[in-house]
Chain A
Amino acid sequence: MDVIVQLQRQIVDFTASLYREGYVDDQFTQLQKLQDESSPDFVMEVASLFFVDCEKLVNNMARALELQAVDFKQVDSHVHQLKGSSSSVGAARIKNACIAFRTYCESQDREGCLRCLQLVNHEYAQLKIKLQTLFRLEQQIVAAGGTIPVLQ
């Protein structure tokens, strides 16, 4: 029983930090509202899809920026896509990095774009670790027979 209470406290604190540090925003809360008994792993499923999508788009951006003659419209289109999906899942830091990225695409600044790509990649890696931690905590609670606290 003590273990469950401890885990629940950990989750509450950890989730609060995710919001406080800007990793996730209100849209992430929306996703959590969509999770219930009929779809108990919804957030994790969406997050997984998002990370796969993110990795694919980051690779596309990297390849596009490697070319001698960079097609900035193409790069921008990838960034626009990533901005969209990160917005849909509430991945705030990635979304904000994409917004900045687009301005460099517009000004056709290759160095600026490469810096943004690095930032996006960094934020993606960070968020992946954070959410994996969150999901692991949730799984631990359920395994211990407890319920995941509803935060608001």
Chain B
Amino acid sequence: MHWRSEKIDGFDLSPPDDEQVHVLAVDDSLVDRKVIERLLKISCCKVTAVDSGIRALQFLGLDEEKSSSVGFDDLKVDLIITDYCMPGMTGYELLKKIKESSTFREIPVVIMSSENVMARIDRCLEEGAEDFIVKPVKLSDVKRLRDYMTAREFRVKNQQIGNNNNIKNNNKRRLRETCDLSSSPLSMLFSSSSPSPSLSPSSLSSPSSPSPCLSPLPSPPILSYSAPCSPTSLDSPTRRLKMSSSD
């Protein structure tokens, strides 16, 4: 099923592809910054790469001491991807600061780490991270993020259309069914995951728990969007961790 080209009732539901996804990448390693920047650019993202959490906050204008001179409208950061282990402010601390901000808490934050530690992953997801990628970062990881961002844009736009139609009292039931992705064929592939808005910490910490990636997300899980596009990205972050050879 191909979301992009779908037209329903004369509405063009394709996401705006003239607007590139703007990613703020945070990593203290120059080598890693160069690689992630290229991975994102080749996946058609606009990239701003900074070397610390402090600089990331400065760029966003969240830093108390020194704010970015760029206006908020120009920034339009769509996704933040950050390394976990950094001197000074860790990726986790940066995540917290972003989620504490009323302006920026809606921006999805993805954590990258070379360390394959469940407790760390759980902690990040609990704090509101959208995803956790084990380094080294590959093209398939970035593609998964890209698909998620596209679907997210699409969903937001649909909700806007849906709201407009409710007001106009026009085909609202039909449109809502079409836009309600939790009842879409895609999520039926993952029958275990009806998106649960609330997070139960106990289910995350138990060893036999399902992928933590699915339950904490209030929106439909990342997996349900990437599955039709690339079979390899069916693996959740945690399943990928188990499959990849750890240290």
Question: Does chain B have a CB within 8 A of A109?
Answer: no
Contact in complex: A42, B38 (CB < 8 Å): yes
Contact in complex: A88, B136 (CB < 8 Å): yes
Query: Max chain B CB contacts within 10 Å: which of A33, A80, A88, A99?
Result: A88
Question: Does chain A have a CB within 8 A of B32?
Answer: yes
Task: Considering the complex, give the chain A residue whose CB is closest to the CB of B247.
Answer: A99
Contact with A along B125-146 (1 / 0, CB 8 A): 0000000000111110000000
Given A39-B38, A87-B114, A30-B30 contact (CB < 8 Å): no
Contact in complex: B35, A87 (CB < 8 Å): no
Given A30-B139, A49-B30, A83-B38 contact (CB < 8 Å): no
A31 / chain B contacts, CB cutoff of 8 Å = 35
> Which B residues from 200 to 247 make CB contacts under 8 A with A?
247
Contact with A along B35-55 (1 / 0, CB 8 A): 100110010000000000000
Given A50-B31, A85-B29, A85-B31, A30-B136 contact (CB < 8 Å): yes
Question: Does chain B have a CB within 8 A of A53?
Answer: yes
B76 / chain A contacts, CB cutoff of 8 Å = none
CA distance A45 to B30 in the complex (A): 12
B39 / chain A contacts, CB cutoff of 8 Å = 34
Counting residue pairs across A and B whose Cβ atoms lie within 8 Å, the total is: 52
Given A83-B114, A84-B114, A33-B139 contact (CB < 8 Å): yes
Looking at chain A's contact residues, the main secondary structure is: helix
Task: Considering the complex, give the chain B residue whose CB is closest to the CB of A25.
Answer: B136
Contact in complex: A88, B38 (CB < 8 Å): no
CA distance A33 to B139 in the complex (A): 9
Question: Does chain B have a CB within 8 A of A131?
Answer: no
Question: Does chain A have a CB within 8 A of B34?
Answer: yes
Closest Cβ–Cβ distance, residue A29 to chain B (whole Å): 10
A-binding residues in B (CB < 8 A): 29-32, 34-35, 38-39, 42, 85, 114, 135-139, 247
7 A-B pairs, CB-CB below 8 angstroms? A34-B38, A34-B39, A42-B38, A45-B34, A53-B29, A87-B114, A89-B35
Top-4 shortest CB links A-B = A85-B31, A88-B136, A27-B136, A34-B38
Query: A85-B32, A88-B32 given. 18 additional CB < 8 A pairs?
Result: A30-B139, A31-B35, A34-B38, A34-B39, A39-B38, A39-B42, A46-B31, A46-B35, A49-B30, A50-B31, A53-B29, A80-B85, A88-B31, A88-B136, A89-B31, A89-B35, A90-B136, A99-B247
B-binding residues in A (CB < 8 A): 27, 30-31, 33-34, 36, 39, 42, 45-46, 49-50, 53, 80-81, 83-85, 87-90, 99
